Amino acid sequence: MFDALSERLERVAGRLRSRGRISPADLDEALAEIRTALLDADVELGVARHFVEAVRERCSGEVLAKSLTPGQQVIKAVHEQLIDALGGEALRLTYASRPPTVVLLAGLQGSGKTTAAAKLGRWWKQQGRNPLLVGADLQRPAAVDQLRVLGASAQVSVFSQPGDPVTTAVAGVEEARRLGRDVCIIDTAGRLTIDDALMDEVRRISARTEPHYTFLVIDAMTGQDAVATARAFHQTLALDGVILSKLDSDARGGAALSVKEVVGAPIVFASTGEKLGDLDLFHPDRMADRILGMGDMLTLIEQAERTMDQDVVARSADKLFSGRFTLDDFLEQLHQVQKMGSLGGILRLMPGMSKEIRQAADQIDDGQVSRVEAIVRSMTPTERADPAVVDGSRRVRIARGSGTSTQEVNQLLKQFKEMQKMMRGMGPAAQGGAPGGRLGRLAAARGLGGASAEDSLAEMLAGRAPAAPRTEAPRPPAGSKGRGGRNKKKGGRVTPPKGR
Amino acid sequence: MIALWIAVGVLVVLGLSATIVSQRRRPRRGAPSVTAPARAEPARAAPAGREEPKGALPEAAPEPPIAPPALRERLGRTRGLFAPLRALGGRADVAAAFEAAEEALLRADVGVETTDALLAELRRTQAHRDGAAGLLGALSEQLVAVFAENPDRALRFDNEPGVVNVWLFVGVNGVGKTTTIGKVALARRTEGRSVLLAAADTFRAAATDQLALWAERAGTEIVRGAEGGDPSSVVFDAVQRAKARGNDLVLADTAGRLHTKVNLVEELRKIRRVADREPGRVTEVLLVLDATTGQNALAQARQFTEAVGVTGVVLTKLDGTAKGGVVIPIERQLGLPVKLVGVGEGTGDLLAFDPGSFVDALVGL
């Protein structure tokens, strides 16, 4: 997503970079390019105009004149403006003093409310809460069934009853109170903003259940209409925030920008995949990084903290950097990573990834992971500990045992060797960056995701040709220092205060 | 410490993705075989008894439109994007008029490239001679001309005896595929076709139940698969069953999938291949697009067409405030005709696409 936007900006920057000075005409051209890029990304027209003007202000002649790299200066201005436009601070979720905290979801048909409800249920469960899902979408055939199935796999119970949506919602909140649930998520039917009867219905649901949070679920692929929709829902319901769905598409998600700008409600969550775990708090600064092709390492770190078994990982890390990393460790590691969500989704969050790699991320099928697993499991302990002993006949046996081909076995062994080599090179760098708290860790992690890893991977992807043609990797404008400072200001992730 | 173990995790991902990518690049050996699973239970749906054998229909007769074009009234409720341009009147400043036109087109999701091209053409033909009204008139003619490039909007149906027509419905998540199929089924039943529904969306929870409810409304049979099962096998079973029972049209619902997910698009290719096997014949692959979608719809159209050869577009949710202007670049650049439009949740709210009404509603004449 946002790919074309960052690519275009890169192109503009490339042109500007080659010049020592930027004339007003150059700047105009660059800004026109930015406007087109924004419109292509479905940013609402008025918002795009405003954005371009704000960037122009940030790039006043003086600032550009002083800078040695005016091109970078423009990019930096765009980046800063993106962060501002996307919402500045993240919403801090708090909980009602008298539970349950009621959360109402609304949106157009097909925006992803039901899925978002289940994902939210799972998210809160992971936060140590005890949520209840309320199915008040009695309109779409089988919507409640869908919620029940999703709820079951998220292990969150679902309440619904036939009849009137308003009474159902009220009864749901009542049920949550009776059961002592502390969060109650109400899924409502999709509705058009011009359908007065249905808008009135959702207003009544809101009035009767008095939600603490009202979220609009909006499809990241929405076009210019996003603003009209958000505005109408805001007028009816007074939105507290927005959930951006289907962000794993290649949509550039201009809707995110527009909605924030026009309604003022921050984007709270973003859904980035079909798995129930693919929902994250939305962080404007990270999103801006992502727009400019800088990856999203912080989200990755948080996902890892939440899901990985630290002991297991620490053990393999020791082994890895001491060069005793075996295929068994690889497998164990793989399972840890899989817990974080789909592999493709994780790879997308990596900073500094080139286009080829992001495309590769799209192709990762979690089913193929099991093929890899099958191959490793068909090896004897000796072979796993020392893959070098695997000769021709062993390969045939392993392929037969795992139901794969010898080519696939070869491939795996080769990649494993490459990986070992790559990691040995990484070791000292990572260890050097480890002390120094969060920022140090972040810097270390960023360094890892940087050029060397990408180069090796690009070579691996290209196979024979080591010098694969690749797009110029976008680099952060202000280095890790400026980025660290920002992260510090933001104060890390939103951890809901307990006991309120 | 944390950096260490994240590094490990990330590098494993990197290594693995490289493995997978290189595996993908190797040519596949042998086509995947499809076996008919025993799990497709007999249709639990409703009174499917009234399947009159049809009389001799004219060869390759075009399907009659689903309903008279009432599009304009249905779209009348949306806000007038071109009102500012119209308000400029006859003595409008040329620059202002073009700016208003540009703004309106962009706000209708027509997109920068197409808007620029349309306006350049209008400038060339001096369309602004007669003021804003002249510009508006010329613009709508131009839009109608875009649609005229793809005149064939009839739904294709093969009357050859023994052939089971398969209409495949594809699209990203949440655009309204299942609802559209329900409406199409009902319309075809009303016309006297014997329709069979294939619930090949085995991914989304309860999607099959949703389709089953539509099957009940339309009085058609439905072939279901197990949740999480192989969608191709459901389509295969549906074609076989249709052949056995003398149904001439199978409407296949597929799971919503983002066009960027290579493995899911691959799955769709397979569904299409299987549906095309004797006696099945895929006569329509309809891409369902949500009118609220912006420029991403172009990417969807392009990639679904590349994967499964889309033959037409169904534009849904046109009863909202969105104008669905993105179909203009889709028609213009990809030559894909819009065939149906969805204008509501009611059973009859699916209309044949009529370019004139669409343009009128867009421009607000």
| Structural domain span for residue A362 | 308-473
> How close A372 comes to chain B (CA, Å)?
9
Give a yes or no: residue A402 inside a domain: yes
Do A123 and A270 share a domain, yes or no? yes
Q: Do A372 and B17 touch (CB under 8 A)?
A: no
**pLDDT over 90 at B118, yes or no:** yes
The token pair at B316 is 């849904």
Q: Who among B3, B106, B292 is closest to A433 (CB)?
A: B3
B251 contacts B226 by C-beta, under 8 angstroms: no
The residue with greater pLDDT, A352 or B178, is: B178
B334 contacts B308 by C-beta, under 8 angstroms: no
B245 contacts B130 by C-beta, under 8 angstroms: no
- Any residues with CB less than 8 A from the CB of A184 and at least 6 apart, and which? A100, A101, A102, A103, A131, A132, A134, A172, A173, A176
For residue A191, what is the domain's CATH number?
A: 3.40.50.300
Q: Quick one: pLDDT at residue A193?
A: 86
Residue B303, classed as helix, strand or coil, is helix
Element (H, E) at B156: none
Q: Do B321 and A255 touch (CB under 8 A)?
A: no
pLDDT digits (tens, 9 = 90+) for B251-261: 999 999 888 88
Q: Quick one: pLDDT at residue A21?
A: 66
Q: Quick one: pLDDT at residue A368?
A: 72
Give a yes or no: residue A346 inside a domain: yes
The token pair at B148 is 């005229």
- Please state, in angstroms and rounded to a whole number, the distance separating the CA atoms of residues A231 and A208: 22
Do A264 and A325 share a domain, yes or no? no
The residue with greater pLDDT, A313 or B339, is: B339
Q: What is the mean pLDDT of residues B45-59?
A: 37
Q: Do B17 and A343 touch (CB under 8 A)?
A: yes
Total residues belonging to chain A: 500
Q: Quick one: pLDDT at residue B26?
A: 42
Give a yes or no: residue A464 inside a domain: yes
Number of inter-chain CB pairs under 8 A, A vs B: 278
Element (H, E) at B285: strand B280-290
Q: Quick one: pLDDT at residue B9?
A: 57
> How close A26 comes to chain B (CA, Å)?
21
> How close B55 comes to chain A (CA, Å)?
35
The token pair at B6 is 């994240």
Do A262 and A372 share a domain, yes or no? no
Do A238 and A108 share a domain, yes or no? yes
**pLDDT over 50 at B52, yes or no:** no
Contacting residues of B for A246, CB less than 8 Å apart? 172-174, 258
Q: Which of A55, A86, A117 is the last residue of a domain?
A: A86
Give a yes or no: residue A303 inside a domain: no
Element (H, E) at A459: helix A451-462
Do A128 and A80 share a domain, yes or no? no
Q: Which of A247, A282, A317 is the last residue of a domain?
A: A282
For residue A364, what is the DSSP state? Answer: -
- Any residues with CB less than 8 A from the CB of B220 and at least 6 apart, and which? B45, B46, B48, B185, B189, B194, B195, B196, B197
Give a yes or no: residue A10 inside a domain: yes
Do A112 and A73 share a domain, yes or no? no
- Please state, in angstroms and rounded to a whole number, the distance separating the CA atoms of residues A489 and A486: 5
Q: Nearest CA to A99 among A239, A212, A238, A241?
A: A212
Q: Do A39 and B175 touch (CB under 8 A)?
A: no
B225 contacts B143 by C-beta, under 8 angstroms: no
- Any residues with CB less than 8 A from the CB of B75 and at least 6 apart, and which? B318, B319, B343, B357, B358, B361
What one-letter code names the amino acid at A59? C
Annotate A121-147 with b (16+ C-beta within 10 A) or e (fewer): bbbbeeeebbbbbbbbbbebbbbbbbb
Q: Quick one: pLDDT at residue B64?
A: 41
Do A155 and A237 share a domain, yes or no? yes
ipTM computed for the complex: 0.75
Give a yes or no: residue A491 inside a domain: no
Indicate the burial class of A401 (C-beta count within 10 angstroms; 0-12, 13-18, 19 or more): middle
Give a yes or no: residue A181 inside a domain: yes
Q: Nearest CA to A149 among B298, B196, B227?
A: B227
User: Which pLDDT tens digits describe chain A residue by residue (500 residues)?
Assistant: 345 556 666 666 666 656 666 677 777 888 888 888 888 888 899 989 999 999 888 877 666 656 656 666 777 788 788 888 887 666 788 888 888 999 999 999 988 899 999 999 999 999 999 999 999 999 888 889 899 999 999 999 999 999 899 999 999 999 999 999 999 999 999 998 888 899 999 999 999 999 999 999 999 889 998 988 999 999 999 899 999 998 877 766 778 888 888 888 888 998 888 888 888 888 777 666 655 555 455 566 666 666 666 677 677 667 766 667 788 888 887 777 777 666 666 666 665 455 555 566 666 666 677 888 888 889 998 888 888 888 889 999 999 998 888 888 888 888 888 777 776 665 544 443 333 333 333 333 333 333 333 333 333 333 333 333 333 333 333 333 333 333 333 333 333 444 33
The token pair at A176 is 């949550």
Strands A267-271 and B221-224, bridge-based pairing: unpaired
- Show me where the domains of chain B are located: 71-148, 164-310
Domain count, chain A: 3
Q: Who among A221, A418, A449 is closest to B294 (CB)?
A: A221
- Please state, in angstroms and rounded to a whole number, the distance separating the CA atoms of residues B156 and B62: 7
Q: Quick one: pLDDT at residue B2?
A: 40
The token pair at B247 is 């149904």
Measured in degrees and rounded to the nearest 5, phi and psi for residue A242 equal -130, 140
Q: Where are the alpha helices (DSSP H) in A220-354?
A: 225-237, 254-263, 284-291, 297-307, 310-321, 327-339, 343-349
Decide which of 3.40.190.10, 3.40.50.450, 3.40.1190.20, 3.40.50.300 is the CATH code for B164-310.
3.40.50.300
Q: Quick one: pLDDT at residue B326?
A: 94
Give a yes or no: residue A76 inside a domain: yes
B58 contacts B66 by C-beta, under 8 angstroms: no
Do A73 and A128 share a domain, yes or no? no
B92 contacts B136 by C-beta, under 8 angstroms: no
Q: Nearest CA to B292 among A228, A198, A67?
A: A228
For residue A329, what is the domain's CATH number?
A: 1.10.260.30
Do A145 and A213 share a domain, yes or no? yes
Residue A18, classed as helix, strand or coil, is coil
> How close A176 comes to chain B (CA, Å)?
24
- Please state, in angstroms and rounded to a whole number, the distance separating the CA atoms of residues B264 and B274: 15
Q: Who among A141, A246, A343 is closest to B210 (CB)?
A: A141
